[in-house]
């Protein structure tokens, strides 16, 4: 999955709690869908070197792959968020963040 590839290129904190703190923009100790999508979309913005809102093959890891728009990328993130939200409360805990991406 492209989201997994892009996220693998980011520097990860050492623990899920440290990761949660980075993503938790309002400091409530949990990650909403909006916080998750915003944080994870930063990698898209860094990779979109021409700023056109589409990651072309040349902008993807390894210089290969199908182009993807920011909207498609964020739709994938939303699906991933709901997969990670195992208790279906609409938020991610540190434990849920520690799960491998789907």
pLDDT in tens, 40-82: 999 999 999 999 999 999 998 888 889 999 999 999 999 999 9
pLDDT on residue 102: 58
| Residues across the chain | 102
**Distance, CA of 42 to CA of 57 (rounded, Å):** 18
What are the tokens at 69? 């728009």
> What phi-psi label fits residue 51: left (phi over 0), alpha (psi between -120 and 50 degrees) or beta?
left
- The CATH homologous superfamily for domain 15-97 is EF-hand (1.10.238.10)
Domain range summary for the chain, segments of one domain joined by +: 15-97
Per residue in 5-18, pLDDT tens? 445 545 567 787 88
Pairing type for strands 91-92 and 31-32 reads antiparallel
What are the tokens at 65? 């792959």
- Binned at pLDDT 50, 70 and 90, residue 20 comes out as confident
pTM: 0.78
């Amino acid at each position: 999955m492209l989201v997994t590839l892009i996220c693998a290129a980011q520097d990860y904190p050492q623990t899920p709690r440290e990761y949660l703190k980075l993503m938790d923009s309002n400091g409530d100790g949990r990650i909403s869908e909006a916080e998750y999508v915003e944080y994870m979309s930063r990698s898209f913005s860094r990779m979109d070197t021409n700023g056109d809102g589409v990651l072309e093959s040349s902008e993807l890891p390894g210089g290969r792959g199908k182009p993807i728009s920011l909207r498609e990328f964020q739709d994938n993130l939303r699906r991933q968020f709901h997969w990670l939200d195992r208790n279906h409360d609409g938020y991610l805990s540190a434990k849920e963040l520690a799960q491998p991406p789907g």
